[in-house]
Structure 1
Amino acid sequence: MTPTEPVAPTGHRNADSQPGVDLGEDPLALDRQVCFALSVASRSVIALYRPLLEPLNLTHPQYLVMLALWESDPRSVKDLSHTVQAEPATLSPLLKRLESVGYLTRSRSSGDERLVTVSLTPAGRELRAEAEKIPQRIVERLGMPLEDLESLNTALREVMAAAQRAKTGS
């Protein structure tokens, strides 16, 4: 070990650490892992959505697709995939199910058979009125100040952007 290598207080070598970053006494402590906190928080919050989405005949991933379509309709599968950050292969069965319950239609472009457009049906558009109640109910169920949830959302978007930059190396 050279004198310039970062060292955790316990003497653990942190070869990938930024100089001056103190990872604490145990950098592998479960309760200090961002991945663990994100994973448990995600599962816990999504579980709160389930009973609210069931009467709408939606799963959480389907709800995300509907949110994207309520923002902009129609959309290509490629655009929808980018917006909800899911692979087209993952979206396909989701879209098929939403089509089978009558919330959307899928159609191939006559000019390009590879292009599939997703459009809301009247029933899919009407569902929005019921779905508009969900965010308020989630805030109530969490019992946290709206400002804290908005700050968390901002911080999570920053984490998402940082992870994307790290993934692409930019």
Structure 2
Amino acid sequence: MPQIQPIHLDEQLCFQVYSANKKFNHFYQQALKPFDLTYPQYIAMLTLWQYAPLSVKQLGEYLHLDSGTLTPLLKRLESHGWISRSRSRSDERTVVIQLTDKAKEQQNVVYGHINSCFDILGLTPDEKETCMQAMTTLEQKLDLYNDPQV
């Protein structure tokens, strides 16, 4: 039986993604601290700034999160004054998320702060694009593996 060569930790793509993710989480934790937002709340706000009003189901589809994960996140955003939630008039089962005045007023402030934080990283536009393309390719390959119907 041939001997199988071990794959070392520093050769693992999954470890590189994991490690980068941890570092991004720390980066965003610091960057979002002035706004009392977590990263999951921030990506929810990014989506809402782009598409609001949205139902909880629609937001979940954009973020790839289920309602059990979204509900506590949305409750916190609501308690901090970023969003309001209400039942749809046309379908009582549907909860619609709206932006508050605070969210609308803070949108450019948050964008400006996050952009200035990214300037600190010093990624050139080409480096950012290369990273985005590599992550998109990786995500597509994983989608094909995890769901052959995709």
TM > 0.5 fold call: yes
Q: Cα offset for 1:87? A: 1.7
Q: Cα offset for 1:167? A: 1.2
Partner residue in 2 for 1:20: none
The Cα offsets for residues 93-118 of structure 1, whole Å up to 9 and x where unpaired, read as 01000001111011112332221111
Partner residue in 2 for 1:155: 134
Larger Rg: 1
How many matched pairs?
Answer: 149
2:9 is the counterpart of 1:30 = yes
Calculate the TM-score normalised by the size of structure 2.
Answer: 0.90
1:119 to 98, 101, 104: 98
Partner residue in 1 for 2:50: 71
Answer whether contact 2:31 2:114 (CA < 8 A) is retained: no
Q: What is the aligned-residue identity percentage?
A: 34
1:104 to 71, 83, 93: 83
Answer whether contact 1:46 1:60 (CA < 8 A) is retained: yes
1:140 to 107, 114, 119: 119
Flag the 1:130–1:108 CA change in 2: closer, same or farther, 3 A.
same
Runs of 4+, deviation exceeding 3 Å: none
| Amino acid in structure 1 at the alignment position of 2:92 | E
- SS of the residue corresponding to residue 93 of structure 2 reads coil
What is the 5 A alignment of 1:79-98? 79-98=58-77
Could you say what the CA RMSD is over the residues aligned between the two structures, in angstroms? Answer: 1.7
Q: Cα offset for 1:11? A: 4.3
Q: Cα offset for 1:136? A: 2.4
Structure 2: gaps (5+ residues): none
Query: Distance in 1 between the 2:129 and 2:113 partners?
Result: 16
Higher relative contact order (CA 8 A, sep 6+): 2
Q: Cα offset for 1:78? A: 0.9
Query: Distance in 2 between the 1:66 and 1:32 partners?
Result: 36
Calculate the TM-score normalised by the size of structure 1.
Answer: 0.80
Partner residue in 1 for 2:40: 61
- SS of the residue corresponding to residue 110 of structure 1 reads coil
| Amino acid in structure 1 at the alignment position of 2:99 | L
Flag the 1:97–1:76 CA change in 2: closer, same or farther, 3 A.
same
| Amino acid in structure 1 at the alignment position of 2:69 | T
Task: Report which stretch shifted further, 132-141 or 93-102.
Answer: 132-141
Q: Which has the higher helix share?
A: 2
Task: Report which stretch shifted further, 67-76 or 156-165.
Answer: 156-165
Partner residue in 2 for 1:22: none
Answer whether contact 2:84 2:98 (CA < 8 A) is retained: yes
